[in-house]
Amino acid sequence: MSETPLDDRELRALMTQYQRADPPAVEELVRRISPPLLRYFGASRVDRNDAEDLLQDCWIRIHRSRHTYRASEPVMPWIYAIARHTRLDAYRKRRRMESREVLVAALEERFHQSVPKAAPEPDAIEHLVASLPESQREVIVMLKVSGMSLEEVAKATSSTVGAVKQKAHRAYATLRRALGKDREK
Amino acid sequence: MRNHPRDADLERHLDAWAASQAEVELSPEIQRNVQAILKRSLTPVKPLPSHGRLVLAFLAVFAVGAAGLIAIMNQAGAHLMTEAQIAGMVAILACGGILFSLLIAWQMVPGSRQGLPLSLVLALSGCGVFGGIAVLFPWRTSHAFVSEGWPCALMEVMIAVPAAAVFWLLARSGALFGGAGVGAALGGLAVVLALAVLQFQCMFQQAPHLLAWHGGTAAILIGLGALIGEVTPVYLRAGRYAGKAT
């Protein structure tokens, strides 16, 4: 399936048509926005099926919230803000379910302890990113995987550019240290 | 972010990881399924009013609610306060109302630029109310501190809870995903309204009474609002179009 680059002016026009209940605009929006959304969910420590479930859940939330989009604002921060809440709610739900299982906490602890020992293989960086605190990992995923600007990440996370920069800086410092340790071994 | 000598290496790793994520392809079946679900419930919607109009709507309800309740209830407190105390408390509570209205309006629209974080609004409001009371009112206390205090706390709860419900009804026309943040902001605005009414009604205009029974109850109610926001299921937080989407 070919992926059309995201042009904000076109997306704004499509969103306005979507608010007016134009079916082709819905089809086009789903076609253009779903691939980056799937990548965003895929980079969030979930398997392919869960990422697809999150994508569908996210589209239902976008649909319910479509009246909150304003044509004067860029589309993608609005979309990612909804995607972020979809992911967080799913994460909390999963945590609640996991907390009912006796062994999960111990297993998770073992997983996190094993992360820094990972060798700098091609997928090591994925494990290192996965081991970052939630707020830092989210910023790295949005900046690197979703290709968003600092300003867009700040809007999507209801934060400020300064706070995003600080989280990215801390994440880089942690990743740099972890990669350095890997080299020394 | 990229000044460190080892950052070029880290950037290379991150770029490779980001590129591997880009290889994930969306199945046509999922895409068709999403398109079908959305088209099934596609109706025209009216976009939310501008941020400024949302803030004005909350402020109007806040002002009318506070003025109406002050007019209806007895105004014993107003007669006991000096002009400086009245002016100071009105200014502090009006600022609190504006800050919480701004906060709620930001939370109603996903991806809004958040001018002030919730923690800062809570800190500013807390410092304003507690600091204002501590400076403006005399530090006297009576022997009947508890028996004079609990009716005020009860009255504050009785005003704040319905006020929070009214503000929630207004706010739910947006997309409330914020959880604890939304709960605290709605609780904050309702509590400021209740504090304004109580200030004009209360017969015990002394700092210890106002801090403990008015301010203390306000802090507990905002915390309770945050807790309710956090545990409220997503479907209750969704906007007014929730029923039409599925």
Structure ipTM over 0.90, yes or no: no
pLDDT of amino acid B217: 96
- A114 with A84, same domain: the answer is no
Band of residue A7 on the pLDDT scale cut at 50, 70, 90: confident
How does pLDDT run across B135-167, given as a tens digit for each residue?
999 998 888 888 889 999 999 999 999 999 999
| Model confidence at A182: pLDDT above 70 | no
What does each C-alpha distance from B168 to A18, B107, B175, B211, B212 come to in angstroms?
27, 12, 12, 27, 27
How does pLDDT run across B206-220, given as a tens digit for each residue?
999 999 999 999 999
- A83 with A123, same domain: the answer is no
- A1 with A87, same domain: the answer is yes
Helix (H) or strand (E) holding A128: helix A124-130
Q: What mean pLDDT do residues B162-180 have?
A: 87
Helix (H) or strand (E) holding A113: helix A104-114
Q: What are the sequence ranges of the domains in chain B?
A: 8-40, 51-243
How does pLDDT run across A23-57, given as a tens digit for each residue?
999 999 999 999 989 988 888 767 788 888 999 99
The whole-angstrom distance between A184's CA and the closest CA on chain B is 14
pLDDT of amino acid A126: 78
| Model confidence at B229: pLDDT above 60 | yes
- A95 with A12, same domain: the answer is yes
B185's tokens: 């902001």
| Model confidence at A119: pLDDT above 70 | no
> Angle B129-B134-B135 (CA atoms, 0-180°, nearest 5)?
100
Check residues B93 and B25 and name the one with the higher pLDDT.
B93
Closest residue in B to A36 (Cα–Cα): B22
Residues 90-119 of A with CB under 8 A from B: none
| Model confidence at B177: pLDDT above 80 | no
Please give the residue range of the domain that contains residue A7.
1-100
| Model confidence at B195: pLDDT above 90 | yes
Among A84, A100, A116, identify where a domain stops.
Answer: A100
Instruction: Please report residues of A whose CB lies closer than 8 A to that of B47.
Output: 19, 67-71
Among A70, A100, A130, identify where a domain stops.
Answer: A100
> How many domains, chain A?
2
pLDDT of amino acid B4: 58
> What percentage of chain B has pLDDT greater than the value 90?
61
Judge residue A5's burial from the number of C-beta atoms within 10 Å of its C-beta, 0-12 exposed, 13-18 middle, 19 or more buried: exposed
- A126 with A139, same domain: the answer is yes
Among A74, A100, A126, identify where a domain stops.
Answer: A100
The answer to whether A70 and B50 have CB atoms below 8 angstroms apart is yes
Which of A139-143, B56-60, B63-67, B112-116 comes out lowest in average pLDDT? B112-116
In CATH, what number is assigned to the domain containing residue A113? 1.10.10.10
| Model confidence at B87: pLDDT above 70 | yes
pLDDT of amino acid B236: 56
Q: Which residues contact A136 (CB under 8 A, 6 or more apart)?
A: A167, A168, A170, A171, A174
- Measure CA A157 to chain center: 10
Indicate which of A15, A146, A172 best probes the interface with B, i.e. most B CBs within 10 Å of its own CB.
A172
- A94 with A131, same domain: the answer is no
Q: What mean pLDDT do residues A59-72 have?
A: 92
Indicate which of B45, B102, B182, B230 best probes the interface with A, i.e. most A CBs within 10 Å of its own CB.
B45
Look over chain A and give the mean of its residue pLDDT values, rounded to a whole number. Answer: 81
pLDDT of amino acid A160: 84
- A92 with A140, same domain: the answer is no
Band of residue B240 on the pLDDT scale cut at 50, 70, 90: very low
- A45 with A64, same domain: the answer is yes
Question: What 8-state DSSP symbol labels residue B46?
Answer: P
How does pLDDT run across A131-142, given as a tens digit for each residue?
888 888 889 888
Check residues A184 and A12 and name the one with the higher pLDDT.
A12
Q: Is A139 on the interface with B (CB under 8 A)?
A: no
Whether B34 sits inside 8 A of A69 (CB atoms) is no
Check residues A4 and B206 and name the one with the higher pLDDT.
B206
pLDDT of amino acid B234: 57
Q: What is the pTM of this model?
A: 0.81
Residues 35-74 of A with CB under 8 A from B: 35, 38-39, 42-43, 48, 51-52, 55-56, 59-61, 63-71, 73-74
Closest by Cα among A133, A119, A115 to A173: A133
- A108 with A95, same domain: the answer is no
Which of A94-108, B50-64, B87-101 comes out lowest in average pLDDT? A94-108
Look over chain B and give the mean of its residue pLDDT values, rounded to a whole number. Answer: 87
How does pLDDT run across B3-35, given as a tens digit for each residue?
555 577 788 888 888 887 777 777 888 889 999
Size of interface A-B (CB pairs under 8 A): 179
